Structure 1
Amino acid sequence: MRALIVEDDALSARVLHLTLHTHFETVCAKDAEGAFSTYMQAMDGDAPFDVVLLDLMLPGESGLTVLERIRTVEADRGLPRVPVLVTTAVTDINIALRAFEQGHISAYLVKPLDFDRLLAELRTLGLIQVA
């Protein structure tokens, strides 16, 4: 199983990696362009991602823009949607609703992250086993 962590804060990316590394091979991207490029390389190769953890506030394009680009590629290729868990400090309910409505995200997790909730969301999605 592979997870793409899209996080511009190096410490947050490291903590996510440490939380997930026993369940997933993790790859990190620090900005929107790097995230989409990494996603496409995995999609075009033989190891697509099983889940994306996506920060909304990124340098350059926003996380929602990256999500829209990913969903467009999936639709154009007739592929199933990869589960996306948004990880963000943004607590504006309108942004959360827009993310659910437009991006079809699987979860909206507000920072500082509750790692038990993160793991519970991954269990609910069937991506990790109940421990």
Structure 2
Amino acid sequence: MRILVAEDDFTSRTMLQRFLDGYGDVDVTVNGSEAIEAFNFALEENEPYDLICLDIMMPEIDGLKALKNIREKEKSIGVTPENGVKIVMTTALDSTKEISDTFYGSGCNDYLTKPIDLQRLTIILEKYGISKN
């Protein structure tokens, strides 16, 4: 299992990295530009990510633009939506309507609001068949 955590907040990034380490190999980036670069590199190496936790508000390129870029790349190489990387957006937004309109229309699979609830993350991972090593 390959996992990418794209998060600019040190505390959230460290917590996600430590928690997800039990699920597989975790790479970390601190902005959307690095996330896109890591995603593309993983594809080139024929070792794509299975899961990406993608923060919405990051420097350089925000999470929504990174998400769009990742989904466009998958489409360009023939990856169908059901076979694409599972992307869980992390956000400080808390309005259900705003979250639905913003994220699900953009191609993410799920979302977590901050502060991140690890029990909720566990439920999301189980929903997609992702289990600890």
CA distance in 2, matches of 1:97, 1:125: 22
- Structure 1 CA distance, aligned partners of 2:69 and 2:13? 22
Offset at residue 81 of structure 1 (A):
1.4
Give the TM-score normalised by the residue count of structure 1.
0.92
Contact 1:86 / 1:107 at 8 angstroms: preserved in 2? yes
Query: SS of the residue aligned with 2:94?
Result: coil
Match of 2:87 in 1: 84
| Match status 1:48 vs 2:48 | yes
| Aligned amino acid, residue 33 of structure 2 | E
Structure 2 distance, partners of 1:95, 1:114, is 17
- Alignment of 1:117 with 2:123, yes or no, is no
Partner SS state of residue 97, structure 1: helix
Contact 2:6 2:54 in 1 (8 A): yes
Match for residue 57 of structure 1? 57
Counterpart residue type for residue 23 of structure 1:
Y
Task: Provide the secondary structure at the position in 1 that maps to 2:23.
Answer: coil
Deviation at 1:12, TM superposition (A): 1.2
Identity of aligned residues (%): 30
TM-score if structure 2 supplies the norm length?
Answer: 0.91
Aligned length: 128
- Alignment pair present for 1:75 and 2:75: yes
Shift of 1:95: 4.3
CA RMSD of aligned residues (A): 1.2
User: RCO (CA 8 Å, sep 6+): is it higher in 1 or 2?
Assistant: 2
